[in-house]
Amino acid sequence: MSSTALDLDVAATLIDHAQSVIEGALREIVARGGVDQNEGLAYDLAHAASALATAKSCLNYAAKGDDEARLFAAFLALTLADLANRVLGREALWGVGPTWFAPFQSFVAAYRESSFLASLAESPGPRHLGEDFAMVGELFHRFAEEQVRPHAEHVHRTNAEIPESIISGLSELGGFGLSIPEQFGGFSTGGEAEYVGMVVATEELSWGSLGIGGSLITRPEILTRALLHGGTTQQQEQWLPRLASGETLCAIAVTEPDFGSDVAGITTSATKTQGGWLINGAKTWCTFAARAEVLVLLARSDPDRSLAHRGLSLFLLEKPRGDSHGFLFRQEDGGRLEGRPIDTIGYRGMHSYELSFDNWFVPDDHLIGGESGLGKGFYFQMAGFENGRIQTAARAVGVMQAAYDAALDYARTRVVFGEPIINYELTRVKLATMAAIIQCSRQFSLDVARLMGRGGGALEASMAKAYVCRAAEWVTREAMQIHGGMGYAEEYAVSRYFVDARVLSIFEGADETLCLKVIARRLVDEVR
């Protein structure tokens, strides 16, 4: 098989064959008692299936030109080799025989060959966004380059706050209203364009900085989806214009100290009182809580714990702006809200907090959905989180692209043993692998955005997040490694990309929970 002339029919057949391996393993999980009895296999399977879904989504991209086909071939070979690594020695668990990998052998040998990969080191491939979305990308890329990047290192090194100039600039750009319908002051006209535009903008802002760029528009996206899914007409008219303009910034208060991804087990209570609700309990990892003017709070409105997630409701909790180093607010009737900052190794600027609520009063009209929203908070919140997952995948792509750009630039200028390190085969293989992973991750994220714009894509959004966020850890690590000792120094931004990437597999659905409770279970349901 020639490594320069990809046969797309062959590639599609190999993807189908790999999919049959995945489906066989799913049937083994069913036969062996389900996901909960086979967590190790289910976790590996979820990641393998997510990588394969990424590859499959790029078949159309591969047909657009030679560079596109070569990047895709490199990625598919990497995906198949990763599948082999997960199966090796566990063939019985996966339900395959000893020669299962034979159909993939020649393809992987051709497209993992070092000289082929080295030829792709400086060929990241066109994005094929189309004229309109290319303009969106250019607009937000310029903002990221001119307004975000000049502040990124200072904020990271000093754990400073996001400059107000970035927030106001992003507001003027319309960044907070990308998914808010036009009748509420946003820019959304619905359909695929809304989701694709959000993904494109998020990637570019995250290229500027994860902490003070791309993540700024995630929280209003989550609240917007919850309001559109379950809010009353009055709530939509009251809150969506304020979100679109950037007048009101929000934070998401869902996770609790004893209940991370197990949302159904949360204990923060909302007790009915005259005119509203009293909130008591604690939340943790509430990002941007100090700066935000409103918290999106998931609380137990029905004390019957047996109801699990059906006893939860979603509230809008207004608060003043607080100091990023900690805050304490009191209401006139005795309500108390305290925020303690949590120091982190990366993702600085947004700041995360542990929050304590003591009889904090929330009026009735701040219960999302009103009386009919009681007990539906989990579903409203999940409507927002599904969108947050594909946006997180886009954030990961932006961080990876920044890391690749930095590594490529450094490799071209750094001379070792009399040669720029870009001339060494190993450096080129690493850069090529990065380029293939980034481009295919981008194309998958865009495809999922289109699916979501057509009313689907929930499973695919979870798969995109699972694959792309783990990939970002490898890409940023190798970019750091190409920098050698300077990669470990804060003098170069690549060290920030590395520590920022680490959070991506943790928030918006921890990797293990996402793989076991969402991806594996839904895939198992499809083969039952």
- Cα–Cα distance measured from residue 352 to residue 253, given in angstroms and rounded to the nearest whole number: 10
Cα-Cα end-to-end distance for the chain: 37
Q: Is the dihedral of CA 342, 346, 351, 353 positive or negative?
A: negative
pLDDT by residue (tens digit) across 41-66? 999 999 999 999 999 999 999 999 99
Angle at 18 between CA 17 and CA 21, to 5 degrees: 95
Assign residue 22 a region: left if phi > 0, alpha if psi is -120 to 50, beta otherwise?
Answer: alpha
Instruction: Please state the CATH superfamily assignment of the domain spanning residues 250-378 in this structure.
Output: Butyryl-CoA Dehydrogenase, subunit A, domain 2 (2.40.110.10)
Read off the pLDDT band of 509 (50, 70, 90).
confident
| Catalytic-role residue among 153, 508, 512, 526 | 508
Tell me which residue of 138, 75, 50, 10 sits closest to 516, measured CA to CA.
Answer: 50
Angle at 402 between CA 186 and CA 43, to 5 degrees: 85
Task: Write down the pTM of the prediction.
Answer: 0.94
Q: What is the pLDDT of residue 100?
A: 96
Per the annotation, the verdict on 508 as an active-site residue is yes
387 by Cβ neighbours in 10 Å (0-12 / 13-18 / 19+) ranks as buried
- Token code pair at residue 434: 């990065």
Total residue count of the chain as it appears in this document: 528
Q: Is the pLDDT of residue 154 over 90?
A: yes
Angle at 71 between CA 67 and CA 76, to 5 degrees: 145
Q: Is the pLDDT of residue 408 over 70?
A: yes
CB 315 within 8 Å of CB 279: yes
HSE-up of residue 167 (Cα within 13 Å, Cβ side): 16
Q: What is the pLDDT of residue 507?
A: 83
- Token code pair at residue 389: 């997952």
CB 469 within 8 Å of CB 503: no
pLDDT by residue (tens digit) across 299-358? 999 988 888 889 999 999 999 999 999 999 999 999 999 999 999 998 998 899 999 999
pLDDT by residue (tens digit) across 437-487? 999 999 999 999 999 999 999 999 999 999 999 999 999 999 999 999 999
